[in-house]
Amino acid sequence: MIDQLNAAFSDRYTVQRELGRGGMAAVYLADDLKHGRQVAIKVLHPELAAVLGAERFLKEIEIAAGLTHPHILPLHDSGEADGLLYYVMPYVEGESLRGRLDRETQLSLEDTTRIASEVADALSYAHARDVVHRDIKPANILLSGGHALVADFGIARAVTEAGGNRLTETGLSLGTPHYMSPEQASG
């Protein structure tokens, strides 16, 4: 897959390695050749991309890219390359809240309060702009430099707006079952 990505992104990004994989996409570490920085490229799984469609997906990603907040991971770029739908985010040194919770049995009250406050502030900002995350969970909260960043607004919004009904009809869920609200789980 890395060779396929490098061929698709040849003039813009050089993909180094896979960082992780989830139910909807895989994330790759890459060098941004134009700006001389490391980025994370999230590439939708082909079956999801086929259900969503490029035009609608990219329109919704553009809306999510308009979210500018200190605790929301920004989107730098998005597109379709050789049939692959993707978007580009800054590469964040650090770990996810999921990784930290796996490593530590309990967070300090200070850390818990700070993380919860920063995530709530990010969600409040997004909700005021009619953007709902739909997949908030520890794996989508990145911890870097002592602060929390909410990730994946792009994919959550795009999936919800571009193909929500079609996805649920095919049996794919829009979120992570253990973290879904009762309203999401019931459809």
Which residues in the chain come in under a pLDDT of 50? 167-168, 170, 172-173
Question: Can you give the pLDDT at residue 180?
Answer: 54
Tell me which of 3.40.50.2300, 2.40.50.100, 3.40.50.10490, 1.10.510.10 is the CATH number of domain 2-186: 1.10.510.10
Amino acid at 27: V
In eight-state DSSP terms, residue 138 is G
Q: Are 156 and 133 in contact (CB under 8 A)?
A: yes
In terms of C-beta distances under 8 Å and separation of at least 24 residues, what long-range contacts does 180-184 make, across chains too? 184/134
Question: Can you give the pLDDT at residue 181?
Answer: 59
Largest Cα separation within the chain, whole Å, is 47
Spot the catalytic one: 111, 130, 135, 152.
135
Residues 6+ apart with CB under 8 A from 101: 107, 138
State how beta strands 77-81 and 37-44 pair.
unpaired
Residue 98 has which token pair? 């999921």
Question: Can you give the pLDDT at residue 183?
Answer: 61
Question: Can you give the pLDDT at residue 155?
Answer: 74
The 147-150 sheet, strands edge to edge: 95-96, 141-144, 147-150
Question: Can you give the pLDDT at residue 34?
Answer: 97
Question: Can you give the pLDDT at residue 134?
Answer: 82
Question: Can you give the pLDDT at residue 165?
Answer: 54
Whole-number Å distance between alpha carbons of 154 and 42: 10
Determine whether 121 is an active site residue.
no
Question: Can you give the pLDDT at residue 56?
Answer: 85
Domain boundaries, the chain: 2-186
Our CA dihedral for 158, 159, 165, 167, rounded to 10 degrees, sits at 150
- Burial tier of 89 (Cβ tally within 10 Å: 0-12, 13-18, 19+): buried
Question: Can you give the pLDDT at residue 184?
Answer: 53
